[in-house]
Chain A
C-alpha cells in the first residue's frame, strides 16, 4: 500500500484528475491503474527510475499519448480528441531534450511562434518576448539560431517559449538537467514565484533531490505504480524509497546515517543547515544523551 498524500488542498478543485489510468506499449504495461488528483495551484514533483513511467504519465496529461483505459480530466474537462487543442493550450510542456521543441530560426521567432498561434497582437507578442527573455537571461541571445546555443541556453530558450504562452499548468520533464546550478536555482526561484503569484499548477520530473524538495508534493513511481505520495521532506529521507526510485541519498543524509553508525544520533535530514545546527547544539552541550554508544 503506497504512502498517500495528505490532501490539505482537497477543497480546491482539481486541475488534473487521473482515474484508473492504464497505458500499454506492446506487451508492456507502462502505467497500471493509476489514479492521481492534483489540485489547482499545487506543485507536484514526480520521481522514479528511468523507465518507471514518469514521462509517459505527463505525456498522457497533455494528450501527447492516449491512455489504453481510464479517464483524464483537465480543469473539469475530459481529455478527449474533440477538445484536445483547448486542453493543450492550457498546458505548457518542456521536454528533457530542448532540441525536440524548437521551430523558429532564432530564439525570438521561437518564442513568438506559440504567441502568433494564439493570434495575439504584435505589440503584446513583443512585450512577452522581452519579459520572458529578460526573466530567463536570454536578451542577448534573442537573434541567435537555437542550434548555436549551449545545452543550458537551449533549455532556457525552450522554457521562455512555453512560459510566454502563460499556461495554467506547466510540466517540466527533466527540463533542468542541462542547466548549471545557478540557473537551476534561479529557475526554481522563478517557478516558485510563478506558482505563488499566478497559482500556476506545476509538475516537475526530476532526479535531483534539491529540485524534488522544492515541490509541495512528491509522487514516487516504480514500474508503473505509485510507490509513495507525500511531502518531499518526509519521503526523501527514506532509504528504501530512494533506492527503489534510484535516487542518490544526498551527502547530508549519508552523513546523518554515518554519524548514527558512529553512535551520534542527530536524526535524519536532507537540509545541511539543519544538520549543522544539530551538530552545533551537540557541540555546545556535549550532551551525553545525544551521543549513543559506538558500534
Chain B
C-alpha cells in the first residue's frame, strides 16, 4: 500500500482570481511509513496537493490511490473512513479548533469517528501527553493559548483520531526553535514507532532534512523532483526556484569533502559525525 497520484489536475474555480492550473497532471508514487517533505515556491501547489490527500479538495481529473482507498474526481463519493485515516493540520491551526476547551477539541475527532467515550478519552489523553499539553492547557479555550500552544493542540487533536497518514501544512511556523525540533522529532517517532506516514509542507529544509526519507519539490503545479534530501543539494536550479536554503550540514560537508577527502554524502551528517570525520582526516 502506498500513495499514488495518477495524472491528477486541479484548477481553482470558486476563486475567480486564482484560475491557473494549481496541479498540472501530477504523477507521483510514494511509500507509506515514511517522513515525506514537500517544498516549493509560494503558489507552486504544495498546499493544494496536501488538501487532495483527505478529500478537502477534489481533483478535476486523475485518480489518487491512498492506502487501500481510491479517490476519484467529483461526483464520485469519497472513500469511507478517509477523514479518519488521513489527518490534516492546517497552516493556521486556530482555524480548526472550535470547541470551548482544548480537551473538548481533542475528544471531538475520536467521538465523531464512533469511538466510545472511554476510548476517546484515552486517545485524547495519549495525544495530549505526546504533544506535551498539560491539564492546565487542556482546560483552556484556544483563545487563551499562545500561537505555539495552539499549534500543538491542533496537532494533538488530529493525532487523537488515530490517523494512518498525518498531513501538516507548515507545522513549525510560530513555534520557538526548540519546539520545532521537538515537533519534528515527535513526528519522526510517529513514523518509526507507530508506523504512520507523515507528510509535511515546509520551506525550512534545515529543520526537516535530518528526518526526511523522501523530499518532493513542486514547481508551478508539477513535480520537479522526488528523492532523498542529500540528492537535492546539487540541484541548485531547483533550490533557487523553490526559495530553499541548503542546510548548513550539507554546505559544510560539501566545502570540506574534497580537501579532507571525505566519503560521498549519502545521508544527513550530524555535527558529531562531521566532527569525527574532520578529526579522522586531520589526524
Contacts and interface: CB of A to CB of B under 8 A. Distances in A.
B282 A286 contact: yes
B67 interface: no
A255 interface: yes
B251 interface: yes
A183 B248 contact: no
B282 A291 contact: yes
Contact of A246 (B42, B174, B176): B176
A178 B282 CA distance: 41
Contact of A177 (B173, B247, B255, B256): B173
Contacts of B181: 248
Contacts of B205: 181
B176 A151 contact: no
B43 interface: yes
B118 interface: no
B17 interface: yes
A259 interface: yes
Interface residues of B, number: 51
B279 A262 contact: yes
Query: In terms of DSSP, what is the predominant structure of the interface of chain B?
Result: helix
A143 B91 CA distance: 23
Counting chain A residues whose Cβ lies within 8 A of the other chain, the interface size class is 35 or more
Interface of A: 48-51, 55, 96-97, 99, 143-145, 147-153, 174, 177-183, 185, 207-209, 243, 245-248, 250-252, 254-255, 257-259, 261-264, 272, 275-276, 279-280, 282-283, 286, 291, 294
Interface of B: 12, 15, 17-18, 41-43, 47, 91-92, 94, 146-149, 170, 173-181, 203-206, 240, 242-245, 247-249, 251-252, 255-256, 259-260, 271-272, 274-276, 278-279, 282
22 contacts: A50-B148, A55-B146, A143-B17, A147-B15, A151-B170, A152-B203, A153-B42, A178-B170, A179-B203, A180-B242, A181-B205, A207-B175, A247-B178, A248-B177, A251-B206, A251-B248, A252-B252, A258-B275, A262-B276, A264-B282, A272-B248, A283-B260
